[in-house]
Chain A
Amino acid sequence: MEVTTSWYLVLGAVLFTIGAVGLLVRRNPLVMFMCVELMLNAVNLTFVSFARALDDVAGQVIVFFVLVVAATEVVVGLGIIVAIMRRTPGATADDVASLRG
């Protein structure tokens, strides 16, 4: 059985969905963070798949951009999460709701 492009695409879609659902249902900030990473990398996988399938290097270039953005996002996001955890150990994402309208 040959592994075709559509396999990768389906895998990307499944990973993305897992990430998205995880983000919506989990309360732990760290887990939610990992879900975001999962979604980003699902998209990366999709980009690479298309780049190979269409023989277009632009898809791979985009992946690099996404990686850079993801890296900076991790720096900022982890910093915030650490700060929150220091203030209120064991806080969930729902506890951080002071901007509620």
Chain B
Amino acid sequence: MLDLIWLIPALPLAGFLVLVVAGRRLGEPLAGWLATAMVAASFVVTVGVFLALLGEPEEERAATVELFTWLPAGSLEVSFGFLADPLSITMALFVTGIGALIHLYSIGYMHGDANFSKFFVYLNLFVFSMLCLVLGDNLLMTFLGWEGVGTCSYLLISFWFGNEANASAGKKAFVTNRIGDFGFMLAMFVAFGALGTLQYVTEDGGGVLQRAGELAPVTATAIAGLLFVGAIGKSAQFPLYVWLPDAMAGPTPVSALIHAATMVTSGIYLLTRVNPIIGESFDWLPTTIAWVGAGTALFAATIAVAQHDIKKVLAYSTVSQLGYMFLAVGVGAYVPAVFHMVTHAFFKALLFLGSGSVIHGMHEEQDMRRMGGLRALMPITAVTFIVGWLAIAGIPPFAGFWSKDEILLYAFAENPALWAIGLVTALLTAYYMSRQVFLVFFGRPRFAIAEGGAAADDHGASPTAAIAAGAETETAGAGSTTGHAPAHRPIHVHESPWLMTLPLVVLAGLALVGGAMQLPFSSDVHFLGDWLHPVIGLAENEAEIHVATGTKVALAIVAVVAGLAGIAVAARVYLQRRARAVEPALLEQAWRYDAAISAFVAGPGRSGFEGAAAFDGRIVDGAVNGTATVVRVVADRLRLAQSGYVRSYALGVAVGAVVLVGLFLSRASL
């Protein structure tokens, strides 16, 4: 079974190739079913590999399958191979599993789209790239996947490229990611320069990770730091997070798959993969990672508080949750990082798909101020979304509680300040998610319901609109700068088809029980930790925590209380409407970070570029053109000598001959 690892990425690749050739002919819904089947088959193979690995003794749980030598170039030899070890298989499991569910969902969501089959072409290519990223047995394979997912992300964000905003959101994501990719490439150069290989592990112990101990601290810090730069770009951390909120321009399944569950976690995967190198670095590097993570978590959570777009809230929430994972990596808590990555994949994919279902049911409405009361109209979506909400808010026994709590515990052991930031973020998370749930699913509808809508109280269209207008001013509060007019067109809200609700139900189940992977009660139930031990324990640098059980319980209680407090405040503001909503414009505009970047690029940046252009025009071009001018002027003078008169040539020959003879004679006489 372990020899079949190559099948895991090969199946989505096959789906991609078939769809490229025959996608249009297959049409809807066959193209979607084929893509889904390929990813599902890939999931089955992954489960098989997983079981096969489980059957091996712990220290032998790693298998490499080399298909061929990719780049034989002197001393650089890169294989096209796949590595199956606990970490990569964990990633592959949820990439293919959640990927298959989202493919299924997309068949319903993309129904009727003109480019239905093209969407699945991209999705399959994405899954293939993502699997290359996690299963690659060397840095370059990972980089191949890394670039592949970036490309697919670009293609899918600007999938509806007819709209200018979508196209530029795709560009923004691509360009921002390229900044991070630079770090990845430089890290590979440094690693190859220092160790002469890019393989993670080899049987003779010559892999990058096995020889991390040979690295000088400076080199290790350089490699790990540059990889961290790459991770910042891909996983949308401060200061390169700007592309992720804009990436919501893509279709919602894309947001769920790429920009919540899988691609954005590849930075965490990468740092976890190279944990032996981080272990050899100077201490300030992990500390930096932790603080960047914690800072991003808090920063993005504050922005999410004031967003009105249902997907923007989730996007900033994703940035915030990824910050948690970086915090975990920074304090050496790799297992909690991976744990949170998996549970986050469950509940954030669920939330995104749920929001997609809402958007679908509301006929492409994304502004939460024009929703409300959807609980009765979309019961399955509402229930599953509420499960996701409780999971991310950290309410036991939902999955998010266990993983977030674990991270907070390690953060507390490292530095109480980090823990405090994490706690505040947890409170904010509970608050903004509750705000979203209350605004979307509870309260009165703030839109006109078409006849036949289940919750249409006896209001006609215009009284409802009046209520909507009133509710809107109340909700928007001081933060409203845009001042949308309420939708007057009646909307026939409907629950989504089973194709879309089935993945929601499955993911809700996972978000409910996902925490069982790693329970804190005794070391016997650290399933994920034990499973990942061969990878994480490679350099024995997993953080050791010495916190008394009483403290642990106290921390967990504090975290739950914080979550409940967030929910309570949100309920008071948005459900009972007893308090005025605090949604400052500063937060709605994301601390004006984007505006600051624009201002910088348009101001000093632009004059800098113009200076560079002037340098290019005057100095560089000047040198080239100057040479040409000199040659031309000299030649202009010289060509006058070529008169075309035979006699003048003859004179030249004669004079030359005389001169030569004279020269020879004078030399001979000397």
Give chain A's interface residues, CB within 8 Å of chain B.
20, 23-25, 32, 93-94, 96-101
Contacts and interface: CB of A to CB of B under 8 A. Distances in A.
Interface residues of B, number: 13
A85 B643 CA distance: 21
Contacts, number: 34
B201 to A, nearest CB: 72
B640 A101 contact: yes
B641 interface: yes
A97 B647 contact: no
26 contacts: A20-B650, A20-B654, A23-B647, A23-B650, A24-B647, A24-B650, A24-B651, A24-B654, A25-B647, A32-B646, A93-B645, A93-B646, A93-B647, A94-B645, A94-B646, A94-B647, A97-B645, A98-B644, A99-B644, A100-B642, A100-B643, A101-B638, A101-B639, A101-B640, A101-B642, A101-B643
Contacts of B641: 101
Contacts of A20: 650, 654
Interface in B585-644: 638-644
Contacts of A99: 642, 644
A76 to B, nearest CB: 15
Contacts of B638: 101
Nearest to A25: B647
Given A20-B654, A24-B651, A24-B654, A100 B646 contact: no
A95 B644 CA distance: 9
Given A97-B644, A101-B641, 19 more contacts: A20-B654, A23-B647, A23-B650, A24-B650, A24-B651, A93-B645, A93-B647, A94-B645, A94-B646, A94-B647, A96-B644, A96-B646, A97-B645, A98-B644, A99-B644, A101-B638, A101-B639, A101-B640, A101-B643
Which 10 A-B residue pairings sit nearest by Cβ, starting from the closest?
A97-B644, A100-B644, A101-B639, A101-B642, A93-B646, A24-B647, A23-B650, A99-B644, A94-B645, A24-B651
Nearest to B641: A101
Interface of B, secondary structure class, is: helix
Most chain B CB inside 10 Å of its own CB: which residue of A93, A96, A100, A101: A101
A24 B648 CA distance: 7
A99 B640 CA distance: 11
A101 B646 CA distance: 13
Contacts of A93: 645-647
Nearest to A21: B654
A2 to B, nearest CB: 29
A83 to B, nearest CB: 15
Nearest to A32: B646
Interface in B268-326: none
Contacts of A94: 645-647
Contacts of A97: 643-645
A98 B646 CA distance: 11
A55 to B, nearest CB: 24
A23 B638 CA distance: 24
A94 B644 CA distance: 8
A97 B647 CA distance: 11
Nearest to A98: B644
Contacts of A96: 644, 646
Nearest to B643: A100
B661 to A, nearest CB: 12
A85 to B, nearest CB: 15
Contacts of A24: 647, 650-651, 654
A86 B645 CA distance: 20
A30 to B, nearest CB: 13
Interface in B446-491: none
Contacts of A101: 638-644
Nearest to B651: A24
Contacts of B654: 20, 24
